[in-house]
Amino acid sequence: MKTHEVVIQPGRSERHYWRDLWRNRELLYILSMRDVTVRYKQTALGTAWGLIRPLTTMLIMVFVFSKIAKLPPDPGIPYPLMVLGGITVWTFFSTAFTQISNSVTLNSNLVTKVYFPRLIMPLSSIAISLVDFLVSLGLFILLAIWYQFIPDWHLLLLPAFILLALLASFAFGLFFAAVNVRFRDIAQLIPFIVQVGFYICPIAYSSRLVADKASEWWAPLYWANPMVGIIDGFRWSLLGEKAYFNPQSLLISVSIVLVCLALSLYFFRKRENTFVDDI
């Protein structure tokens, strides 16, 4: 049997880090299962909560923005369907982002007691949001059937947008997860970011309304938000050509997400060896 030698030195990160990560894939699976199981233990409604939350948010949005504020939907698309599409992908992104940001501090009991590639923690924390996402996607399908809405070939691109939303949550969450270890301010900041994001992203309204106001000074700022392209694209692939989608905004999204992902990964890897000293 081949025994490889492990060398522990200051500042030396594991040379076989990625291989180690792959070896620990079972741990990743088990920690993911733990999060999902624990979440719905001792809840009477169980996974139904994954339905109730987006459904009530949608109803409130419909009431406030469509009935009271009279925001117009994209032409030819029922307003509730447009809102639910936005809520589905936004909730997915924001829960994943929140879970990832808190993943290291929530697992501090493990950080101080066992070694494993620390990336396992943010990775495993995605599971919950994936489960919730699948449930609320089911809700969307039901609503689409109700409105007798038939999707077209755009649907084939849906997985790409889901992946992009996931990468975005990972890119931003990973950075906050590492900072959170030292500065617990982050835990306070995250709900705030999510709340602000909900209104500056095209969830209750369509980006078409912004495109009509291209001359306004804040319009470029709006398009610089990487989530705009992702949410519009997600809705476009679900609802087809009638939904507003500006491919340029997708380009912005992809580049920002990839750059942030690389930086976050670098930062996280750099910090993870000292997590235990700061936690």
Q: What's the CA gap between 95 and 138, in Å, rounded?
A: 17
Contact yes or no for 96/173 (Cβ under 8 A): yes
Beta carbon of residue 117, minimum distance to other proteins (angstroms, whole number): 10
Contact status: 2 vs other proteins (CB under 8 A): no
Contact yes or no for 248/217 (Cβ under 8 A): no
Element of type H or E holding 169: helix 158-182
> Between 10 and 220, whose beta carbon lies closer to other proteins?
10
Beta carbon of residue 41, minimum distance to other proteins (angstroms, whole number): 5
> Between 37 and 148, whose beta carbon lies closer to other proteins?
37
Contact yes or no for 175/266 (Cβ under 8 A): no
Among 30, 48, 64, 145, indicate the residue that binds other proteins (CB under 8 A): 30
Placement of tokens 């929530």 in the chain: 106
Contact status: 87 vs other proteins (CB under 8 A): no
Contact status: 219 vs other proteins (CB under 8 A): no
> Between 53 and 182, whose beta carbon lies closer to other proteins?
182
Binders in 126-185 for other proteins, by CB under 8 A: 182-185
Contact yes or no for 106/275 (Cβ under 8 A): no
> Between 213 and 270, whose beta carbon lies closer to other proteins?
270
Beta carbon of residue 79, minimum distance to other proteins (angstroms, whole number): 40
- By CB atoms closer than 10 A (0-12, 13-18, 19+), residue 112 is exposed
Residue type, 254: V
Among 21, 31, 143, 164, indicate the residue that binds other proteins (CB under 8 A): 31
Q: Angle at which helices 49-61 and 79-106 pack, to 10 degrees?
A: 130
Contact status: 209 vs other proteins (CB under 8 A): no
Q: What's the CA gap between 11 and 34, in Å, rounded?
A: 32
Residue type, 134: L
> Between 129 and 180, whose beta carbon lies closer to other proteins?
180
Segment interacting with other proteins, rule: CB under 8 A, options 25-33, 70-78, 219-227, 232-240: 25-33
| Residues in touch with other proteins (CB under 8 A) | 3-12, 26-27, 30-31, 33-34, 37-38, 41-42, 109-116, 182-185, 273-274, 276-278
